[in-house]
Amino acid sequence: MVWSKLASDSWLIFRRSLREGFRNPALAFLFPLLPPLMGAVLFSQIFQKVVNLPGFPTDNYISWVGIGVVLLTAMSGAGFTATGLVLDSESGYLDRMRLLPIRSTAVLLGRLAFEAVRVLPAAAIVLVAAVALGADYDGGVLGAVAILGLVALWAMGWNSLFYVVALRTLNAQAPLALQPMFWPVFFFSTAMVPDEVMPDWIETVASFSPFTHILEAARMFMAGGLDWGVLALGLTVGIGFLVAMQLFAVRSLAALVQRD
Amino acid sequence: MKIAIDAREIEKAYRGGVRALNGVSFQVGAGEIFGYLGSNGSGKTTTVRILTTLSRPTAGRATVGGYDVIQDADSVRRMIGVTMQDAALDGHMTALQHLEFVSGLWGIERNQGRRRSGELLETFGLAPAARRVISSYSGGMRRRLDIATALVAHPQVIFLDEPTTGLDPQNRRALWGEIRALRENGATVFLTTQYLEEADELADRLAVIERGKIVACGTPHELKAASGRTVVNFRLADTRNLNALRPVIGGAPFEIGADGLVRVELHDNGVSGSSAALGLLAGFRDRGLEVIGLSVSEPTLEEAFLQLIGRPRPANTPSLVCGPR
């Protein structure tokens, strides 16, 4: 009963976000697409000689960086619904939601589901583009589905961080300011180069990044393999990051009431 | 009388030391329209936010429909309908989509929600615009939709925070009719306003709040009588025998103009201005003074209000307790 109400409330809020997305298609759907697409083209050209480094595992650079730019769609243009949350708070809409018999979790989950959905077209296009640019791909349809699932998982975790910042600052510009955060996350991971080629300290930082482990799980699907250990680690850190950030976000939403 | 809203010694201090409410107490009977009158920043919205569970009091307690607003906030929310000062609507939805969305979140089954939305749009005269996006609505339409939204789940207690602020006179009057209809349907209405005329028109009882304290409370008539003054003007045919006036007028202050116009100020004496004037008239007749003209001006609530809030008060004056009738 409680769960079905939570699900139906989240569904209604998801639909509102979806409508919002279709009204702002550039912001909702193009922002996750364009920077990664540019990344796929530019990285594969600029860094093509990187593969000549001794021990570099792929023959062409796009085969290495391709999966990274696919996952970049989960972070590029993040915060769409987080900004909406701040605007709802300013307009009093969030108060209206709080007066309804719904769990505040539903307010976040509905939006979160939209964040997962809105990056999928971009991720699919970038995956196709990477393959078209010469990336090795042996994952088949199932592999692609699994990769998109991991993109959605990371998009939800990453956007949860934006909810925390949005709800703590109540500043519509704050999620925007947070956007460039995807650069350090991207560079401090195995997205650009394998860990054997990194300086030690970056390798250490990257090994602690949840993004690295999701990325490696996705890379495995790209190659058409299945290593349960890699998958389990990727899922564990991905889900762990999502749950932790959601707990913070729900607390931040609750803190709004106490702040008043 | 059953008590719908019971506020006891509510205090609210914000961070930074701003005290919005200083021990506000009042009771609202079920089925009443209770006017909560005050100027900008007097504490009206803070009171509404506390009673509707959106904000926590720093001290004191309050119940709505018998449920504690802090301990039993969920139960309170289930029985109230609220419109805040700014109509909280998603401009990109149509009115119908909006009401169906809210019905859904109330847990109302889909078809039933659609029916209820249709009813409300009909009641508030919005049916012809049901499929238009809300951003194309006028201020009056948005207000009406906002109130319709508050009524989706048939609330027993309705909070309207300055519902007519910013509306033109025609829309304001139309909304008054709708607010009266709420009471006729058995709901209790807590109405904040800065318009005295509105409080006078609608409220069964009202409290005046000033700097977080209740400074007056009663029926509109009582408030007018308590703090206003009735002025009675007589025109006499013959102005030569003015000494005969004094015993009739008694202690009330009066002035006599050169043209024979006698202006008497009557302060609260428990009777209405008109009957006091009739009493004076009879007294003058008895003494052979012929009255050829008469006018009575009753105090307006506006005068009463301005006098109330303009009155200097020591800082430690306690807030009045505004009990039920």
The 10s digit of each residue's pLDDT in B124-168 is 999 999 999 999 999 889 999 999 999 999 999 999 999 888 788
Residue of B nearest to A89 (CA): B88
Tell whether B169 and B279 lie within a shared domain: no
So what's the pLDDT on residue B85? 84
Helices (H) then strands (E): counts for chain A? 14, 0
**CATH number of the domain residue B290 falls in:** 3.30.70.270
Å from B54 to nearest chain A CA? 7
Judged by a CB distance cut-off of 8 A, whether residue A7 touches chain B is: no
| Shortest Cα distance, chain B CAs vs residue A20, angstroms | 8
- Bridge partners for B5 per DSSP: B28, B64
Residues B66 and B130 in one domain: yes
Helix pair A120-132, A61-72: axis angle to 10 deg: 170
Residues B239 and B258 in one domain: yes
List the beta bridge partners of residue B264: B232, B254
Per-residue pLDDT band for B318 (boundaries 50, 70, 90) equals confident
Residue B303 has pLDDT above 90, yes or no: no
Total domains, chain B: 2
CATH number of the domain that B123 lies in? Answer: 3.40.50.300
Tell me the C-alpha distance between A35 and B165, whole Å.
47
Task: Say if residue B208 is in the same domain as residue B98.
Answer: yes
What is the C-alpha separation between B78 and B105, in angstroms, rounded? 12
The better pLDDT of the pair B223, A109 is held by A109
Residues B313 and B278 in one domain: no
- Answer whether B169's CB lies under 8 Å from B180's CB: no
Are residues B76 and B32 both part of a single domain?
yes
Among candidates A58, A33, A30, A29, which has minimal Cα distance to A44? Answer: A58
Rounded-to-integer distance, Cα A79 and Cα A85, Å: 10
| A200: number of Cβ within 10 Å | 8
Residue A93 forms contact with B (CB below 8 Å):
yes
Residues near B267 by Cβ (< 8 Å), separated by ≥ 6? B229, B252
Q: Is the model's pLDDT at B242 over the cut of 80?
A: no
Q: Does B110 touch chain A (CB under 8 A)?
A: no
Instruction: Check pLDDT > 90 for residue B239.
Output: no
Higher pLDDT pick, A113 / B243: A113
Check CB contact of A97 with chain B, cutoff 8 Å: yes
Same domain, B203 and B277: no
Q: Is there a single domain that holds both residue B33 and residue B127?
A: yes
**What is the domain range of residue B294?**
229-298
Q: Which of B56, B80, B105 sits opposite A12 (nearest CB)?
A: B105
Burial B47-69 (b: 16+ CB within 10 A, else e): bbbbbbbbbebeebebbbbebeb
d(CA B188, CA B32): 5
ipTM: 0.86
Whether A6 has its CB under 8 Å from any CB of chain B: the answer is no
Which pLDDT tens digit goes with each residue over B50-109?
A: 999 999 999 999 999 999 999 999 999 999 999 988 878 999 999 999 999 999 999 999
**A–B CB contacts, 8 A cutoff, strictly below:** 59
CA A247 to chain centre: 17
Q: What is the pLDDT of residues B1-59, one digit of tens each?
A: 789 999 999 999 988 888 899 999 999 999 999 999 988 889 999 999 999 999 999 99
* pLDDT range class, residue B269, cuts 50, 70, 90: low
Residues B315, B168 share a domain:
yes
B74 and B172, same structural domain? yes
Same domain membership, residue B109 and residue B44:
yes
Distance to chain A for B158, nearest Cα, Å: 12
User: Is the domain of B28 the same as that of B61?
Assistant: yes
Q: Looking at the predicted structure, is the pLDDT value of residue B270 above 60?
A: no
What was the pLDDT predicted at A155? 97
10-residue stretch averages of pLDDT, chain A, 260 residues long: 88 94 92 95 92 90 96 94 92 89 90 96 97 94 97 97 94 91 94 91 94 97 94 97 96 79
User: Out of A5, A91, A99, whose CB is closest to B86?
Assistant: A91
